[in-house]
Amino acid sequence: MTTSVGTEGQMGGQPLGQQAEFLAEKMAEVRREISKAIVGQLEVVDGVLIALLAGGHVLLEGAPGLGKTMLVRTLAQAVALKYSRIQFTPDLMPADVIGTSVVQENGDGRKSLGFQPGPIFTNLLLADEINRATPKTQSALLEAMQEKQVTVAHTSHLLEEPFFVMATQNPLEMEGTYPLPEAQLDRFLFKLRVPYPGREDLHDILDRTTQGSAATVLPVVNGPQILEMRTVVRSVPVAPHVQEHVVKLTLATHPENRDNLLASKYIRYGSSPRGAQTLILGGKVRALLDGRYNVSLEDIQALMLPALRHRIILNFEAQADGRTPDDLLEEIAGKICAK
């Protein structure tokens, strides 16, 4: 086990305990490397790392200029993964994302149709301003995000693991945008809100970006190690009462649940089972990052908002009353904990 920066170190064949320790140490190093380029945003960074180890995708939402693209690029450098970026625009076509078949000429001069992979064939994909693309293009990501493959001309092409999509969207620009459909939103493990930096963080940003040269981010882990980490994550035990809490929380978001008047009043669609899976998986990763080998209720509470806020669809009454998914979820969780 090594503590130095670099992708060296073995996980396979070692006991799970050591692999868990290795994971925690490596992720701590990744944090440090990311912090060289990203000031603050610790929750966002942790959320991104948790999603990476849980095998999910992240939707980042924030105003322009808050470092969303910088974060993804820095993460790609720190984990030594292939990185590609797609700037979503209204005229972007699905073939521009997943690739298309083109006429290719062999060495002997014969021509044939060959598949030209799109930018989606990468390990770490940044879908910048994803809500600017048309739903047709947005839906091109559905199969890739869930099945880790794309189908072109009746031919399925597997994506290379780990495949990790980080999409960004600007909540302010409503003109010329296409809100993501619920089906696609549900495929994102977390929806992270990128906040404005604080006073200290802003000073630090100014110091780093206006003086000297940009910091160099070194790779800490590689793709195979990340895949092994994902295996370790799934072996973390979960106590029954923690799982019961997750189930209660998920069911409490359903408007059909008459026991919860809040959900029936303001929520049109509740969380899918993917929400519960996200809470458990994210809790496991968070526990390992915290040096624990079990999921606690605190992990669930900490991950509740990023895991569920994009999985509940509010009705018109909630919008009229100015309710947001975050405050509804906080209220629901408070009632469950009070019981």
Q: Does residue 52 bind other proteins (CB under 8 A)?
A: no
**Contacting residue, 7, 139, 296, 315, with other proteins by CB under 8 A:** 296
Residue nearer to other proteins on the CB measure, 51 or 242 = 242
Give residues 134-173 in contact with other proteins (rule: CB under 8 A): none
Q: Does residue 248 bind other proteins (CB under 8 A)?
A: no
CB of 28 to other proteins, least distance (A): 18
**Contacting residue, 161, 298, 326, 331, with other proteins by CB under 8 A:** 298
With helix as H, strand as E and coil as C, how does the chain read?
CCCCCCCCCCCCCCCHHHHHHHHHHHHHHHHHHHHHHCCCCHHHHHHHHHHHHHCCCEEEECCCCCCHHHHHHHHHHHCCCCEEEEECCCCCCHHHHHEEEEEEECCCCCEEEEEEECCCCCCEEEEECHHHCCHHHHHHHHHHHHHCEEEECCEEEECCCCCEEEEEECCCCCCCCCCCCHHHHHCCCEEEECCCCCHHHHHHHHHHHHCCCCCCCCCCCCHHHHHHHHHHHCCCCECHHHHHHHHHHHHHCCCCCCCCHHHHHHEEECCCHHHHHHHHHHHHHHHHHCCCCCECHHHHHHHHHHHHCCCCEECHHHHHCCCCHHHHHHHHHHHHHHC
Residue nearer to other proteins on the CB measure, 17 or 179 = 17
State how beta strands 58-61 and 190-193 pair: parallel
Task: Determine contact, residues 255/270, Cβ cutoff 8 Å.
Answer: yes
Residue nearer to other proteins on the CB measure, 11 or 140 = 11
CB of 290 to other proteins, least distance (A): 8
User: Which of these segments, 29-37, 89-97, 148-156, 239-247, binds other proteins (CB under 8 A)?
Assistant: 239-247
User: Which of these segments, 13-21, 45-53, 198-206, 301-309, binds other proteins (CB under 8 A)?
Assistant: 13-21
Give residues 207-236 in contact with other proteins (rule: CB under 8 A): 232, 235-236
Q: Does residue 336 bind other proteins (CB under 8 A)?
A: no
Question: In 10 A of CB 287, how many CB atoms?
Answer: 22
**Contacting residue, 111, 241, 258, 339, with other proteins by CB under 8 A:** 241
Q: Does residue 295 bind other proteins (CB under 8 A)?
A: yes
Residue nearer to other proteins on the CB measure, 50 or 166 = 50
Q: Does residue 297 bind other proteins (CB under 8 A)?
A: yes
User: Which of these segments, 24-32, 79-87, 177-185, 289-297, binds other proteins (CB under 8 A)?
Assistant: 289-297
Residue nearer to other proteins on the CB measure, 114 or 291 = 291
User: Which of these segments, 91-99, 296-304, 310-318, 319-327, binds other proteins (CB under 8 A)?
Assistant: 296-304
Site for other proteins, rule CB under 8 A = 16-17, 20, 232, 235-242, 292-298
